[in-house]
Amino acid sequence: MIAKLDSMLLPRKKFLYHYKNVRWARGRHETYLCFVVKKRVGPDSLSFDFGHLRNRNGCHVELLFLRYLSALCPGLCGYGAPGERRVSYSITWFCSWSPCANCSSRLAQFLGRTPNLRLRLFVSRLYFCDMEDSREREGLRLLKKAGVHITVMSYKDFFYCWETFVARQQSKFKPWDDLHQNSVRLARKLNRILQPCETEDLRDAFKLLGL
DNA sequence: ATTTTCAAT
């Protein structure tokens, strides 16, 4: 049973290489997506599923996930019997890269017509977000508008992923150098991206006034 | 100081 489950888990080296939140992520030509799916089956009870995916055959991992979604979440999209309610799900993603502009837009569209799905998104690194006017930045704002909570992964998130998705064989999660600093830097960057400009202007104004 | 990015060779 353990051995069977192990094959579904991420090898330690793969996780560490692809999720490392280093400034210059040379060679990460793959993106991994670890997910947790929770289904609301009653007023209180939740069922639970988890796993991981990576991009394949030129298909970004987010869109790959959308393809698997109906199998993963029965009753999410179908219309069911007349008068029957759709099933509600909460999904959490932990992605090694944040989504590209196209994936963000496709996701936002999908979520717009699937109000019974809540998506929480943790990312290790920000994908093509250096330019002030990058389409990827715009895409992240679109996702926020679609109700997605986007957060940069911190120590506790890497730790949780290690415990949940990695074939760790009893080994403890060993944070790499600068994990915390990198996470803080990226979180600030993401906040600046998601923050409406007015707030930023106000903050500067307050600073000028010494308030 | 500078470096990369869901590849393409």
pLDDT tens-digit series, residues A60-97: 999 999 999 988 998 898 766 666 678 899 999 999 99
The distance of Cα A155 from the centroid of its chain, to the nearest Å, equals 15
**Closest residue by Cα to residue A157 from A37, A25, A14, A19:** A19
Q: Which nucleotide is nearest to A100 (CA to C1')?
A: B6
Identify the DSSP state of A148. Answer: -
The percentage of residues in chain A with a pLDDT greater than 90, rounded to a whole number, is 77
Torsion on CA atoms A131, A134, A140, A145, rounded to nearest 10: 120
Chain B footprint bases within 7 A of protein beta carbons: 3-8
Q: Which nucleotide is nearest to A22 (CA to C1')?
A: B4
User: CA–CA separation, A149 vs A91, rounded Å?
Assistant: 11
Interatomic distance A87 CA / B4 C1' (Å): 41
Q: Are strands A46-54 and A32-40 parallel, antiparallel or unpaired?
A: antiparallel
Q: How far apart are the first and last CA of chain A?
A: 60
**Closest residue by Cα to residue A22 from A116, A114, A126:** A126
Active site residue A62: yes
pTM across the whole model: 0.88
Task: Tell me the two tokens of residue A137.
Answer: 């930045």
Q: Which pLDDT tens digit goes with each residue over A122-166?
A: 999 999 999 999 999 999 999 999 999 999 999 999 999 999 999
- Residue A9: the pLDDT is 94
Sign of the Cα pseudo-torsion (A25, A33, A112, A43, in order): negative
The SS3 call for residue A75 is coil
Interatomic distance A94 CA / B8 C1' (Å): 27
Interface residues, strand B, Cβ cutoff 7 Å: A 23-31, 55, 58, 60-62, 95, 97-100, 103, 125-128, 130
Interatomic distance A54 CA / B4 C1' (Å): 19
Mean pLDDT of A30-36: 97
Domains and their CATH numbers in chain A: 12-73+85-209 (3.40.140.10)
